[in-house]
Chains A and B, each alone.
Chain A
Amino acid sequence: MSVSVGTTDPVHEQGHGGAVETGKGNMRVTVENLTVRIASSKVVIVNDVSIEVAAGEILGIVGESGSGKTTLGLAMIGHTRRGLEISHGAIRLDGRDLTSLPARKMTGLYGSAMTYVPQDPGTALNPARRIGSQLREILTVHGVSKREADERIREILGEVGLDGVRHVLSAYPHQLSGGQQQRVAIAMAFACRPGLIVMDEPTTGLDVTTQRTVLNTVRSLCSKYGVAAIYVSHDVAVVAELADQVAVVYAGKIVERGPAARVFGSPEHPYTRGLLRAVPSAERRTRLRAMPGVRPELGDPSPGCAFAPRCSISESRCHHVSPVLVAVPAGSDGSHSARCLVAPGVGTREAMALDLRVLDAVDDQHEEADSTVVLQVSNLSAHYGTKKVLHDINLSIGKNECLALVGESGSGKTTLSRCLVGLHRGWSGEVRLSDEEITPGVSQRSRDALQRMQYVFQNPYASLNPRRTVGGLLLQPLEHFTKLGRRERNQRVVSTLDAVSLPRTYLAKYPDELSGGERQRVAIARALVVQPQVLVCDEVTSALDVSVQASVIEMLRDLQLDQELSILFITHNLPLVRSIAQHVAVMSDGRIIEQGGTDSVLDNPQAVYTQQLMEHLPSFEDPVRSVGLG
């Protein structure tokens, strides 16, 4: 039995056993006044969102963690996570309202008319089942015959670039790389030729080269099959490159929306501007501007604009009147709109432009930095068991210098940092810290050597003991490394807390009470409190939002200047390197393949690998900066 589907009626009965004509491209998705809340407490997570996506168009939803962007993305295919409910609004897929459909019909639509690409395919693919059966299932469950499904799978594997991978269909998810897993998830999403696809940060865990190919695949498949796509991400650069339309979400509301070029080229909402100012540029060294304050709690009952407490141009009315989305510039066609009482008004554009002009290149006080070498690594090679993972590493860090160690996942950069601080002892070679040679294992090192090199972990949610207060966390290393008296210890703790810009009231707080950025400040303070010469920072901002990242990076920059600190900054993020580091070493496959001054390496990369990295960066063409500076 075959149920034919007209292009005008994608919402159709499809009992199991009935065949379904797939190929439902060219649909328009309209969301009206969509509100999602927590079912028990009625706390609103997505607030009165109206938006539209046309066939073949990609809508980028941009926001920071806690903004409600993922909830919004999922709600646009009528799905809510457990405990949440769509309390209001309509989602129209070619005119029919999904919110009024019975669950059975929604089940028929999922996977065929609307599909979802998860953030982490490593957890979204079933670990106990083979790739082939998981791929075939999405077709057969919608009535495609087995033979036809196999044919379609062959075709789609070619389209996502997995046709060259041997045994991919008989593999289990864990046998594939992250990039391959994500391509499987994308193949799955496009297999039934859906009309609407929601993608939730699908490239977050991927390195830039893989990200580039995945983004290209997504774009070509969307236009080839006329799919309306929603791309949820915190990564402004990726969205700027991929999306046709953009919606910026803050505290559950769309604060600005419009064509991507307009929103990123001439942002009107102060939050959008703040976000863009916080994003580091790969092209030019800039100071990053963090937004002051923190996002409001979910369900914050305060009236007025949710962004007002953090806003540089807010007026007193902003705290009482809730703004609506209005066309910008005032009186235009409404394709670009912002939810702000002040910004679209006459006279503010000048103020905002001035505001943007502050984005100077960072004054480089380091050019004539002290040439004293603090950390010298010579011919370091490391092993895991019998496997050699690092090959003849040579590098040095001068006093007051920040050296960035760049590489993709698996390049060996974290291994190198663990060798240096003594957490991995299987290495040979020579490491000198201020002319004193240090031993591989942390247990054989002198107290002095340990104190002079401190380590900050990637994830501040895991690296702080939850049962100690901030004060206790900072006192512990002092008690271990120094013989300071009680008063001096307390003074040191307080001054360190000042240095990382945390108020003294935080001494009594527990890590649970702090935000991610505050936790990372505490972790950095814990390293700084013993006054080390070298700080090893392993991806210290990768778990943080971009606006929080900006504040942590600027804090490190200030510390480096004020406290004569040398920093080994490990990251995969090239724009961040440009912002903070004076020198850079590029790692690949356990070797340093290129090193030198940051500007010369990034402007004129010599190694093919570095060239590729730069080339594959999402080309966020700095529209704000050119506008602001122009």
Chain B
Amino acid sequence: MTKELLKGNIAFAEAAVRAGVDAYFGYPITPQTEALEYLSHRMPALGRAFVQAESELGAINMVYGAACTGRRTMTSSSSPGVSLMMEGLSYIAGTEIPMVLVDVMRGGPGLGNIAPAQSDYKHIVHGGGHGDYYPIVLAPANIQETIDLTYGAFELAEKYRSIVVILIDGSIGQMMEPAELPPMKPRKKQFPEWATDGCEGRPARFLTSISLDPPKQEITNLRILKRWQEARANEVICKEYFMEDARYAVVGFGTAGRVALSAVRTARAEGIPVGLVRPVSLHPFPEEVMKRLSKTLDGMLVVEMNNGQMLDDVLVYTKESLPISFIGRPGGVIPMAEEIYSSIQQLVNNPPPIGSSPRDRWFAKVCKEKGL
């Protein structure tokens, strides 16, 4: 296989095709639309299901129906569209069936803008839909990683009967990079014992998310938690760069992590012992990595393209037991490597007191700078 120049939105769409996706349902929304456009001809050409739905509500419920048949099913959208899908995601989680969602995040809240952002961390990682459920959330930082994670997402979803979300931002969706596509997998021919795909030669089945008897619903919720606990133990992915001898770490996912790597390289060139920790699985969060680093490092800098959504998780797992700083660019702004580098310098030269709120300190500085 050779590398091709691939756009992120096309790359994850083709990776899903090669992973054997049987059905795709979507709705146009920038900056994700190329995936829908691509699959609108690719899927029918392969004899697979494709529908451009009447809305994201329609799309996620088409996914729900198709996923109930036990076939590999996905959709993709961007932040406001994913808000509309939250109803369906909760039902799908409550029915305990697998599916894959790619969220190409943009600036919010509201209609916001179409620029890259990490605006959806909380509503994807910590719910969004109602009830107790736990999607597996993976955040690649380049096209190759987007391909590889999408390619494996269906098996992961099936293993845990869970929703798997590939969480990227508009820049990864829109950028082109050389990357290698994996081989075409044969489509599944065996379907799970719960699938409602017609009761030929077997007793009829049903799939539902309703359970009027609270103790039964309680068992369902605990069963969902049990599968999640297994995922939490087995599916953590976290990439570390220059961390062998590091005294400081920048923590960032996706594009923020990628930009931070440039800043880390600059700092290393200046002799600052800093590395990058890039959580790839946001859910399960690399809890143990955070716990370990909180005991060994002299400081941490969290970088995000939002107001500090992942920051709260970092604070939980580090128990704020070391100096932590934060820098965020919300609303569709990508941080510059220079500003991250300058924050690294500040962390090293003037470490903040332990336990002083990183967000408050960052925000006070931003308010002064922007005259808010």
Q: Do A and B bind each other?
A: no
